[in-house]
Amino acid sequence: MVRIRMSRLGRPHRPFYRINAVDSRVKRDGAVIETLGWYDPMSTDATKQLKLDTDRVKHWLSKGAQPSDTVKDILAKLNLVDAESVKAERAARAKAVVAGRAAKAAAAAQPKKEEAKA
């Protein structure tokens, strides 16, 4: 499966990302199928913060490419994907994280109760 995700460049404490179409099995900074743009989170000028080839992004999305969570948020800001569905997915992920933490805490507390009875 093809994913649209970011690869990190830049120096320490000064990140710079390229937005790429890559095979999902490739590591973060591995082989790239196509470079779709770049993202500079440290730029103070909003016009120089993001450059994206929207036609190529639409092409890859139409072919079934799955954007990473961060790229999906960027695409939602540019109205390339449905922003409401992105918000719903983000809320579902947050809910799953909270449920996982609660389950972990319950599992950690369970043996302590059994030791106290013995």
Q: At what angle do helices 69-77 and 83-117 cross, to 10 degrees?
A: 150
Domain spans, the chain? 1-80, 82-118
Going by pLDDT thresholds of 50, 70 and 90, the confidence category of residue 50 is very high
Position 46 confidence tier, pLDDT thresholds 50, 70, 90: confident
Judge whether 22 and 5 are in contact, CB under 8 Å.
yes
Q: pLDDT for 93-104, tens place per residue? A: 899 999 999 999
Report in angstroms the alpha-carbon separations of 12 from 7, 9, 48, 51.
14, 9, 20, 22
Q: State phi, psi for 18 to the nearest 5 degrees.
A: -100, 140
CATH number of 1-80: 3.30.1320.10
